Every structure is written in C-alpha cells, then in structure tokens.
Amino acid sequence: MQKLPVGIQTFSEIREEGYVYVDKTKYIHEITTRGKPYFLSRPRRFGKSLLISTLKELFEGNKKLFKDLYIYDKWDWNKKYPVIKIDFGSMDYENSDELKDSLFDFLDETSEKFEIELKRRNLSQRFGELIKKINKKFKEKVVILIDEYDKPIIDHIANFKIADDNRKTLNNFYQSLKANDEFIKFIFITGISKFSSTSIFSGLNNPKDITLSKNYTKICGYTHKELEDYFKEHIENLANEESLSYEETIAKIEYWYDGYTWDGKNKVYNPFSTLLLFDEREFSNYWFSSGTPTFLIETLKKENTLKPIIEPIFATKSNLDTFKIEDIHPTTLLFQTGYLTIKEKNKKHGSIEYILDIPNYEVRESLINELIITYTNLSENHLKELKNKTYTSILNKDSKEFIEVLESIYHRLSYPLKGDDEKYYHGIFLVALYLLGIDSQGEVTTYSGRADTIFKIKDKTIITEIKYSSTKSTKTIIKEAFKQIKEKKYYTRYKNENPIYLALAFSKNDIDCEFKEKLE
C-alpha cells in the first residue's frame, strides 16, 4: 500500500517519498489560467497548506514533481517564476509589535534567499521594495502565496484589542500588493475566516473569493470517487480490521467523515480525519480532538443557545461571507470553522438562501459533548453513570429512573439556556441523547406525519413523542402524546421490531414520562 501523508503538507516531500497524493491540479490549472488574485477559506486541517505548497512548486517549474498528474502536459515548464510564500502559522504574533518583528524578519530572510538588499524601514514599503527588486533581478513577475493569513487575528479573537491591532498591522502590510500590482504574476491567499475586504485587504485589488464557487467546491478534501480511487487498499485493510464488508466500511466512513459542501451538492470527506482513520484503522474523533477553538465555545455560550447544533439553520450569503471581530455572529463562526456546512442552496426572490447543518457524526458528537460538558460541568465518570442508568431505565421501562436521568441534565441546562416551547425541549432531549452516546433521529418522516424522535437502545427501537404545555398537567400531556403516536401511525415501519413507545411531557415546572409496549 502507498504510504499515507499523515501530517505532511509539503508537496515535494509527498511526491518524492511516494506518499498518496490526491490530484487537485485540475483546479490549480483553472485558477492559474483564469485570474490573478484569489482567496479561499476552508476549515483548519483541510489541505490549504498543501495547496499553497503545490502552487509554489508549480510556479517554480519543478516539472518532475508533477509527472502523471493532470497539469503535467498543460503547463509551460519553460517559464519559472520567483515565489514569495508567507506562512503566518510559523510567525510570532502575541501582539502587534511581535507580528511586525516577525514580518520584518520574514522580509529579511526572503531578501537573503533571493540575494537582494533591502533599505526601506517602513514595513509596507519594505515589502514593496522586495517585490520590485525580485522582479527586476529575475525579469519575471513575482508569485505571492499567503497561508493562514488570518491566524494572528483568529488566535486572539477573544481579546479584541490584540486582534484589532494585528488586523491593522496586516492591513498596512498588504498595502504593497496593490501598489506593486504590475510586478505581480499571481496571488493566492488562504485562511479559515473571511474578514471584510475593507478591514484586511483594502490595499489590495479585491481578490476573487472562490470559497463558495461551484467550480472549486472540491479543491480541498476528498470526493467519494477520490476516496475509492486513491485509498482502495486502505479501505479494504480497514474493513478487515472492523470485520465489515467493503460496502459497509465505505458507508461507515461516509457517516463519520463525509458531508462537507460549499454548494449544497458536491460533498467532500475531511482529509485529516480520513488519513488518520486509515493510519490508525479505528473510527475516532480525530479532527475535533486536534484542537477546538476556545473562542468558538465561548461565543456559543455567550449567545445562550444550542440552536445551531440541534436543528438546521437558514442563512444568507452575507451570513457566510464576512467575519467581523467586533461582532461575531455564531452562524458565520460555525460555518467558517467547519462545524456547519451547506446542506441546501436555494434561490428565492432573486437572492440565495442556504440551509446549514452539521456535516457528519464526528463533528456532531464531538461538538455537542464539548458544549454540554461546558454548560453542565458534568464529568466523564458522571456521564458514564448516567448512560448506564439510561439504558437500564429504558429497557426496564422504569419511568421514575429515566426522569431522574433527564432531570440531572435538564436542570443543569435550563438555567443558562433560553427557551420555553415544545421545540426547545425537543432540541434539549436530542442533545441529552447525543450526550449519553445514543444515536437518534429527530423529526422522522412517517406515513402520515413526523415522529419527534426515534432512537435505539441495544436491539430496541424507542418511538418518542415530546409535548409541552404551560397550562395542562403532565398526565394529560402524556395521554395526548400517546394518542398522536397512534393516530399518526408512527410505528408502521417499526411494528415488526416490537418498539417501545415513550411519551415525554414538559410543563412549566415539571418533567414526566411513561413507557408502553402496546398502544391502547
């Protein structure tokens, strides 16, 4: 089997050492022949740095690295361009002074590399001087590649002053790009977030943003076809490890790691998680555990809502397009950091509307666990006890014990979170199930309606109807819930499984429930 490039973001190393490389040069060929300044936003660990590295080797004319790839016979290898590659992930930026020092150091190191002497002391002018002198020396226009352009801001998003000072420093630094446009062949900028062009790139001719472009939705990440074309042996190896068929293994990988889409149609797998899956041969939360931004959790806590993680969200293009330090919208934050993705894209009344949802099981389970633990302060041992108690109470149809489990979670959640309607309690119940490691489906379409929640405990299917009333008793609410299950025939597709029926009732100050094996 070909070696897996786990943690390797250098194109030359991948090609020279025989690692698997999923050929993305078709998209690279398109952007390099169609325009000049480009911007691409993708979540962390999604292949942006590898894309930048590939562009660098291409413009420097390292032909041998591209043998057998799409672009090999379509590129003019006689032309070689000087490349300035800026990686903000390797710089210091604890404050604006550190960031400025890092940028000065970078310009000095780059000038030494190209054997050029710089004289200007102003940061922006010094950058411009570098571009001009490289152009003059090599008699070719300069290619500029910027990786993780937003890291000095994103890493300090919880501290507005540092983030804003770093933003101003970057804005000043980029002034040179517009002023020296005539000396530049190509610009490609990547990052996690898209800040408004006025706040970062006011000194640059607006780069073409290909983040949501239907032409480039597959430029990062693996498509289903690429997964099977490039990793077939690794899939077979994983299937043997998991004691599953090839088809079952593919379905499980899709469930765990697929689902990211930037147009609502073309889905891709998370490349970081997929590579680690094949390397470890074990399904796990690789991407989430590699580092969840603290500011993401803190922002959601401030909003006092779990809505983004318990139901699909409607958004406009402007919701997804720009990110403001001083006014962080949780939907924008969740989308740009990869915790929400586009499930549908619709045109309505001349404008575009998006429906966002969590992409896959890996993200959903991990994000919900992180948030609930943050809200409830429940320890992992306590969660394990609650999970065991949940299983026994449901299988024994013990309403009293099940209510004790729910109350231990609900009472911790209800104080910091807002909501006082049926949908709110329905959402919190789904969250509680996820928290307890119980996979469930909400709003399940049946022959004559939608069941609130259906989940499984071992081999038992539990059909649940959730009701809320601020005026009725919980006993009355329970009767109405069972009546609805029977009238709507939610049980039709599950009747051969001997399902358990659960009526869950909420009032202003009380929780009650009842289990039944048969509906009267």
What is the pLDDT averaged over residues 445-469? 77
pLDDT at 288 over 80: no
Question: What is the pLDDT confidence band of residue 348, given thresholds at 50, 70 and 90?
Answer: confident
The answer as to whether 218 is a domain residue is: no
CB atoms within 10 A of CB 251: 13
**CATH code assigned at 440:** 3.40.1350
Backbone angles phi, psi at 269, to 5 degrees: -85, 150
d(C-alpha 219, C-alpha 35), whole Å: 16
Q: Is the pLDDT assigned to residue 281 strictly greater than 90? A: yes
Cα gap 464→499, rounded to integer Å:
10
Low-confidence winner among 238-247, 291-300, 363-372 (lowest mean pLDDT):
291-300
Q: Do 44 and 84 share a domain, yes or no?
A: yes
Same domain, 167 and 18: yes
With pLDDT > 70 as the criterion, what percentage of the chain qualifies? 88
Residues 191 and 50 grouped into a single domain: yes
Mean pLDDT over all residues of the chain? 87
In one-letter notation, the amino acid at residue 107 is L
Tell me which of 261, 289, 317 is where a domain ends.
289
What average pLDDT score do residues 39-58 get? 96
Q: What is the 3-state secondary structure (H, E, C) of 50-62?
A: HHHHHHHHHHCCC
* Segment 448-462 mean pLDDT: 77
Last residue of a domain, one of 176, 209, 242: 209
Return d(Cα 185, Cα 225) in angstroms, integer: 34
Residue appearing with tokens 């320890």: 379
300: containing domain: 294-357
- Comparing C-alpha atoms, which of 108, 173, 113 is closest to residue 137? 113
What is the structure's pLDDT at 334?
86
CB 175 within 8 A of CB 218: no
How far is residue 264's CA from residue 266's CA, in Å, rounded to a whole number?
A: 6
Domain count, the chain: 4
One domain, residues 272 and 298: no
Q: Are residues 26 and 145 in the same domain?
A: yes
Please tell me whether residues 339 and 487 are part of one structural domain.
no
Residues 16 and 90 both lie in one domain: yes
Range in 7-11, 113-117, 258-262, 492-496 the model is least confident about? 492-496
Q: Which of 30-44, 298-312, 399-413, 489-503 has the highest mean predicted lDDT (pLDDT)?
A: 30-44
Burial of 449 (0-12, 13-18, 19+ CB in 10 A): middle
**Is residue 309 scored above 80 in pLDDT?**
no
**Is 219 part of any domain?**
no
CA distance 176 to 294: 33
479 with 344, same domain? no
Q: Are residues 28 and 147 in the same domain?
A: yes
136 and 281 fall within a common domain: no
pLDDT band at 417 (very low <50, low <70, confident <90, very high): low
Contact between residue 361 and residue 284 where contact means Cβ atoms under 8 Å apart = no
Whether residues 109 and 233 share a domain: the answer is no
pLDDT over 90 (residue 489): no
Q: Tell me, rounded to whole angstroms, the distance of Cα 458 from its chain centroid.
A: 31
Indicate if the pLDDT at residue 409 is higher than 80. Answer: no
Q: What pLDDT is attached to residue 453? A: 80
**Count of all residues that appear for the chain in the document:** 520
Beta bridge partners of 463: 454, 501
The DSSP bridge partners found for residue 445 are 450
What's the pLDDT score for residue 494? 77
Query: CA–CA separation, 499 vs 461, rounded Å?
Result: 5
Read off the pLDDT of residues 360-386 as tens digits, 9 standing for 90 and up. Answer: 989 887 777 777 666 667 777 887 888
Exposure b/e, 164-182, CB count within 10 A at least 16 = b: bbbbebbbbbbbbbbbbee
Does residue 336 form part of some domain?
yes
* CATH number, residue 25: 3.40.50
Structure tokens at 429: 């119940």
Task: Give the dihedral sign, CA 398/402/404/405.
Answer: positive
Give the pLDDT band of residue 387 (cuts 50, 70, 90).
confident
Q: Is 35 left (phi over 0), alpha (psi -120 to 50) or beta?
A: beta
Q: 352 and 420 in one domain?
A: no
Within-domain flag for 217: no
Owner of token pair 């590699």: 290
Mark which of 209, 232, 261 sits at the end of a domain: 209
